[in-house]
Homo-oligomer: A and B are copies of this chain.
């Protein structure tokens, strides 16, 4: 579930599928004619304005999206986006995760999980020229990468000089453009309301990515600021934040074929990947990753058995592993059954023909693609090693030790010279991660993950091995599992990093302290450091090369598309985007059509006494009363629960407001259908469907089931 919303799209004619695209707000005026014809009632220009309604009602939660729905900072998002905060406030005595939570007054609102923040984008500025002007063609590889990093950090530092803001430079089109985002950072976030787990997560993993769906995936936070109206740390004296605008909530909702628009922070897409990258991804990389994920799941299930305390710690990790194992599976199946590769191959071949067709283009672009192909080839050659080391990093002990040591090394430098992620501005996040580990780490389980992937590592070609790694774990010619297990057992038994206080105590220590430590995990970090740095250096060299090649590749792709009259939007990169479309069903397979609404009758039919279908009794009673007046879907004459649309979304869009043509909230985006999973690399008009909670279901549930009249009253409900 988390961050799992899906989006799709190859480059196709504008008129035929105008609903593809995660548009940057500044692009919207260009699309006005289309938007108007589809049903947008407000000005397209108003959506382009970040400091006006409705854009400034939408906020990032980091990995999720939310939106303000009252003048007192009330914000609605998905239940799964609030999950950690609900769980954080849940106790065996007061199990609000299971039973739901409702603050009837501001005083009853509780702090969200540590580290919870809200970011409101206030300004976006194009800094491409500022970065490009520093880059001579002679600046290559790592040097180029470092130069870019330095300018980015400098721009960010200048921007963050204003207190209460977080700034970030984002690269678009592989570095063809850079934008600086300036976001107000709200640090006091409180939980206001969540339905019972069996409403907010009804259907659980079984229904994840699935249609028909009946999930009440909504929850409410409130933003608090200091009495001066400025962002502040949690304090009982803080006051509700007054957002620059907020969304009205529609009780009328939408019908089939209605216009909808989604504003949010989609995380990542790869719509412009080249044919050989796509072939490798679906035929080699994802199948391998799926296997490693499933193996990790099996290990955790074995060593943290159902019902054990360890299992509790790993539930969330397991859910994440399973979520993407299912995701990968869906993508692989979609790739095998569809014609994605064929179309990617055709596109690539046709673009190459277009390039060769004109001498100037040939000179400009042909060497670029040659170079790009070499980079892709080199990446594929070391891919298995990268995957294995990536899954080894699921062993949290070694990952944490490395991070602690790195932090210490970086802290010796002036802040502006430190690596991104290890600056002063990142220290809070580092600390939160060290604390969070206590809730999701069990040495005996961690050991098994390490052991499993050490064996995979050992099977790599010898030229890909890392000497320090082999030496530290005593890996010889043959893999001696018993000996390695013994070695690991000693490490996990003797390290102090299993303890939260001990972990935190390493913050602020010097590299010398690390070098002198007898802690075996710390010794690992120290032993690996030179190799880790060399790896990083090589990676920067590669990335630096990419910063020269990729913008040219993207430029060619954009020019080629322009020559075909096709519009181009940038891949998702966690920045604010707008997507639009209509409420509509789809044909998941021959002989079957998924209709665009589910209803309360369908929810009722799914209810059992067992998780995740154990709807609370109070909801069952309310369903039996059948008082849906005011919330009916007119075509169906009953209460709708979830609906489908063809908006173009992906992970990070979770919690995004779904708006009608008047920018009223008609739903919350929370998932995509499994048949559209290839959306990451390919928007398929026929299969790309997002799943939304219907605002009518949310309002009915709040009013008739959870008695959240205070919140319904606080919001402006359009009836």
Contact = CB atoms under 8 A, between A and B. Distances in A.
Interface of A: 211-214, 337, 587, 589-595, 597-599, 601-603, 605, 642
Do most interface residues of chain A lie in helix, strand or loop, or is the interface mixed?
Answer: mixed
A315 B594 CA distance: 36
A86 to B, nearest CB: 27
B590 A593 contact: no
Contact of A593 (B337, B593, B598): B593
A378 B355 CA distance: 87
Integer count of this chain's copies in the complex: 2
A601 B590 CA distance: 7
Closest 3 CB pairs of A and B: A590-B602, A212-B591, A591-B598
A212 B594 contact: no
A599 B587 CA distance: 13
Contacts of A603: 590
A610 B98 CA distance: 44
A601 B591 CA distance: 10
Contact of A337 (B590, B591, B605): B605
Nearest to A605: B337
A436 to B, nearest CB: 37
Contacts of A337: 605
Contacts of A211: 591-592
A561 to B, nearest CB: 29
A601 B338 CA distance: 11
Contacts of A589: 212, 602, 605
Nearest to A597: B591
A587 to B, nearest CB: 8
8 contacts: A211-B591, A212-B590, A213-B591, A590-B599, A590-B601, A590-B602, A592-B593, A593-B595
Contacts of A642: 591
A147 B603 CA distance: 56
A212 B592 CA distance: 7
B591 A592 contact: no
Given A211-B592, A591-B642, 8 more contacts: A211-B591, A212-B589, A212-B590, A212-B591, A214-B590, A591-B597, A592-B593, A592-B595
Interface centre among A590, A592, A599, A642 (most CB of B within 10 A): A590
Contacts of A591: 211-213, 594-595, 597-599, 602, 642
A598 B605 contact: no
A601 B603 CA distance: 32
A605 B595 CA distance: 22
A605 B592 CA distance: 14
Given A337-B605, A605-B337, A592 B590 contact: no
A211 B593 CA distance: 12
A209 to B, nearest CB: 14
Contacts of A212: 589-592
Contacts of A594: 591-593
A212 B587 CA distance: 12
A590 B602 CA distance: 5
A690 to B, nearest CB: 15
A380 to B, nearest CB: 27
Contacts of A214: 590
Nearest to A596: B591
A714 to B, nearest CB: 32
A591 B213 CA distance: 8
A110 B593 CA distance: 44
Contacts of A587: 595
Contacts of A602: 589-591
